[in-house]
Amino acid sequence: MKILAWPIIFLFLFGGFWATKLLLSSDTQPDTTNLLTAEVVSVIDGDTVILVLNGQETTVRLIGIDAPESVHPQMPIQCYGREASAYLHGLLPEGTVVTVEKDIEPRDRYDRLLLYIYKENGLFVNEDLVVNGYATASSYPPNTTKQQVFASALKQAKGASVGLWGSCDGPDQPLP
């Protein structure tokens, strides 16, 4: 019986390692079954853009993140809000062609389309905003496919005190 147990344990551990490796490496890659191409019309703030998608302009909220407010009509400008907006403007200038990926729920309560955005060079924009401290990870069930990616990016940003983590007491802080 001992002889049979070792191969099973080995296969479980080895197979589990490679399955985990495969899952982790594919988290930041888009799910090719849910992909569309779009063009950037404008950036509204640090987590909202307007895209032309299927020939129509639509407002898009980036899934899984929350950038400090910079243009909300009923809220003050928050610490690092202007910087987050400027950074996203730099990442996604007008005319930029992007690949977008949907998750489970297509729209939020403001009727904005909810998407993950990737640049042509493969940069995962949602994750980039978090890892560089321009946004925090924020879970909005049921759209949680990339939640672990954002949690890891947030840990890295906080650990390095980058962006809002080095300049503010965290997200949702009004300007001093």
**Domain presence at residue 15:** no
For residues 80 and 164, the answer to whether their CB atoms sit within 8 Å is yes
Tokens (6 digits) for 129: 């905003």
User: Locate tokens 């569309």: which residue?
Assistant: 36
Tokens (6 digits) for 51: 């895209």
**Domain presence at residue 62:** yes
What CATH number is given to the structural domain containing 112? 2.40.50.90
Burial 94-121 (b: 16+ CB within 10 A, else e): eebebbbbbbeeeeeeeebbbbbbbbee
Based on the residue annotation, tell me whether 107 is a catalytic residue of this protein.
no
User: Domain span at residue 146?
Assistant: 32-167
pLDDT the model gives residue 13:
38
Contacts (Cβ under 8 Å, ≥6 apart) of 148: 27
Query: Of these residues, 61, 83, 101, 127, which one is catalytic?
Result: 61
**Domain presence at residue 7:** no
Tokens (6 digits) for 90: 């730099």
pLDDT the model gives residue 104:
95
Total number of domains in the chain: 1
- List Cα–Cα distances, 41 to 32, 38, 69, 98, 101, in angstroms: 24, 9, 20, 11, 18
Query: Of these residues, 69, 83, 101, 127, which one is catalytic?
Result: 69
Can you give the pLDDT of all 176 residues of the chain as single tens digits?
Answer: 444 444 433 333 334 333 333 333 345 565 666 799 999 999 999 999 999 999 999 999 999 999 999 888 787 888 999 999 999 999 999 999 999 999 999 999 999 999 999 999 999 999 999 999 999 999 999 999 999 999 999 999 999 999 999 999 777 787 77
Based on the residue annotation, tell me whether 82 is a catalytic residue of this protein.
no
**Domain presence at residue 20:** no
Q: Which residues pair with 104 in a beta bridge?
A: none
**Domain presence at residue 13:** no
Contacts (Cβ under 8 Å, ≥6 apart) of 38: 51, 52, 53, 60, 97, 98, 99, 100
Q: What is the DSSP string of 18-46?
A: HHHHHHHHHTTS--GGGEEEEEEEEEEET
**Domain presence at residue 82:** yes
Cα separation, 101 vs 105, whole angstroms: 12
**Domain presence at residue 138:** yes
**Domain presence at residue 22:** no
Query: Of these residues, 83, 101, 112, 127, which one is catalytic?
Result: 112
pLDDT the model gives residue 26:
45
What's the one-letter identity of residue 7? P
The backbone torsions φ and ψ at residue 54, rounded to the nearest 5 degrees and listed phi first, read 55, 40
